[in-house]
């Protein structure tokens, strides 16, 4: 697996400490969106559909650090929009690392090679590069030719400077498993630490609503996509139990509080993926006043087909510590 051992140990200790305090709902990953502005117009996203006044807004470094302190999650995923458009993003990331967080800076990598001198390699900092497939498919997904080549060049440059790099890929209706296998081989050849994969989710603002997977389609696709993982040596930045879930080998209920979202609007309810419940001013308000029982598969229509890692990876991580056998399998996956 592509998860660093130190991160796995830190998250494990954190989960134990939460359980000893008697807490059943606690965050594992802060989904931090310091801005919604982007330099691409991906068909499956729609964040740039916000009004211009919102797109001009951004969180200050101090607001980002305060959200992390308030939340306390051991991992912070900096998303957006495109975080590298933020004029102080290097300071934001550095401050989070100094607070002991494991930081994943999610980027389309268009600006990454240019911005690398602003950052310093650190075991707690990872550039998580968006790549949705082989060159033709990725460029079609982001609706701009040449982006795949730019991203690959940036990955090579980042690795040459000693940075940790992972990739983040979303699979949609119509993907050919054999093509995905070739893509995974290409990514591993770049020397990345691991790959994050997820089925697409129907963001309410996304221009393309026709290519998101239903739950049965997700299971069928990922069974074929992940079948040769061991023999081909692919490394995933996931719990093995989440990969089991995607393949239909395990069933979980979503834990939306496991990956709370903070943006210029505040703390989003119920989750990173949609905002039916509006926004809370504080993390405590989010946790204490959100009607969590209304959300999840079989509870809300927007949740029916969702199997995205932001909702289900926390469920899988908690399951990884549920029994001794699960713990042993998790440890073996880190060593394999």
Q: Within a 10 A sphere around the Cβ of 278, how many other Cβ atoms?
A: 12
pLDDT band at 189 (very low <50, low <70, confident <90, very high): very high
Sign of the dihedral defined by the CA atoms of residues 82, 121, 28, 200, in that order: positive
| pLDDT (0 to 100) of residue 336 | 62
Averaged confidence pLDDT in the chain: 91
pTM reported for the whole predicted model:
0.93
64-69 long-range contacts, CB within 8 A, separation 24+: 64/32, 64/34, 64/92, 64/95, 64/96, 65/92, 65/95, 65/96, 65/99, 67/30, 67/32, 67/262, 67/283, 68/30, 68/32, 68/96, 68/99, 68/101, 69/99
pLDDT at 243: 95
Domain residue spans in the chain?
A: 5-335
- pLDDT value at position 173? 84
pLDDT digits over 152-177, tens only?
999 999 999 999 999 999 998 888 99
Which helix (H) or strand (E) covers residue 219, if one does? Answer: helix 215-226
Q: What is the pLDDT of residues 224-263, one digit of tens each?
A: 999 999 899 999 999 999 999 999 999 999 999 999 999 9
pLDDT surpassing 60 at residue 7: yes
| pLDDT at residue 247, as a whole number | 95
Per-residue pLDDT, averaged over 56-79, amounts to: 96
What's the confidence (pLDDT) of residue 3?
83
**Using CA atoms, how far apart are residues 77 and 310, in angstroms rounded to an integer?**
10
Cα 161 from chain centroid (whole Å) = 24
**Residue 108: its pLDDT value, please?**
95
Residue 48: per-residue pLDDT: 64
Give me the pLDDT at residue 327, please. 83
Task: Return the biggest CA–CA distance within the chain.
Answer: 52
Give yes or no for a contact between 108 and 99, defined as CB atoms under 8 angstroms apart. no
Contact status, residue 297 vs residue 254, Cβ threshold 8 Å: yes
Count the residues in the chain: 336
Give the model confidence (pLDDT) of 110-155 as tens digits: 999 999 999 999 999 999 999 999 999 998 888 889 999 999 999 9
Instruction: Look at residues 85, 3, 74 and name the one whose alpha carbon lies nearest to residue 40.
Output: 85
**CATH of the structural domain 5-335, one choice from 3.40.718.10, 3.30.1180.20, 2.40.50.100, 3.20.20.70:** 3.20.20.70
Predicted local confidence at residue 333, as pLDDT: 82
Give the tens place of pLDDT for each residue, 308-334. 988 999 999 989 888 889 888 888 887
pLDDT at 18 over 90: yes
Burial (CB count <10 Å: 0-12, 13-18, 19+), residue 332? exposed
- How confident is the model at residue 44, as a pLDDT? 65
Name every residue whose Cβ is closer than 8 Å to that of residue 166 and which is 6 or more positions away in sequence.
2, 104, 126, 127, 128, 129, 192, 193, 194, 195, 196, 237
**Sign, CA torsion 296/218/249/324:** negative
């Amino acid at each position: 697996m592509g998860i660093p051992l130190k991160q796995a140990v830190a998250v494990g200790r954190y989960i134990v400490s939460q359980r000893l305090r008697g807490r059943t709902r606690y965050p594992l990953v802060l989904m931090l969106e310091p801005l919604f502005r982007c330099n691409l117009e991906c068909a499956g996203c729609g964040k740039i559909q916000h009004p211009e006044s919102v797109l001009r807004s951004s969180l200050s470094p101090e607001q980002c650090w305060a959200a992390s302190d308030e939340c306390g999650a051991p991992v912070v995923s900096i998303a957006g929009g495109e975080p590298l458009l933020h004029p102080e993003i290097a300071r934001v990331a550095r401050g989070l690392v100094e607070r002991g967080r494991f930081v994943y800076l999610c980027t389309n990598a268009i600006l990454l090679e240019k911005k690398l001198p602003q950052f310093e390699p650190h075991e707690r900092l990872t550039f998580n590069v968006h790549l949705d497939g082989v060159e033709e498919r990725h460029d079609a997904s982001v609706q701009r030719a040449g982006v795949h080549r730019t991203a690959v060049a940036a990955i090579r440059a980042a690795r040459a400077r000693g940075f940790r790099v992972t990739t983040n890929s979303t699979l949609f209706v119509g993907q050919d498993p054999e093509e995905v296998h070739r893509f995974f081989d290409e990514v591993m050849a770049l020397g990345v630490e691991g790959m994050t994969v997820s089925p697409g989710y129907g963001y309410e603002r996304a221009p393309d609503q026709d290519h998101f997977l239903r739950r049965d389609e997700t299971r069928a696709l990922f069974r074929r996509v992940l079948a040769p993982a061991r023999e081909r040596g692919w490394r995933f930045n996931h719990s093995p139990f989440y990969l089991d879930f995607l393949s239909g080998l395990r069933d979980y209920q979503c834990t939306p509080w496991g990956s709370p979202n903070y943006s210029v609007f505040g703390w989003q309810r119920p989750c990173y993926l949609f905002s039916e419940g509006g926004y809370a001013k504080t993390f405590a308000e989010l946790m204490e006043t959100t009607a969590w029982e209304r959300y999840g598969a079989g509870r809300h229509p927007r949740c029916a087909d969702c199997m995205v890692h932001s909702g289900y990876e926390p469920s899988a991580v908690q399951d990884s510590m549920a029994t001794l056998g699960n713990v042993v399998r998790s440890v073996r996956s880190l060593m394999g």
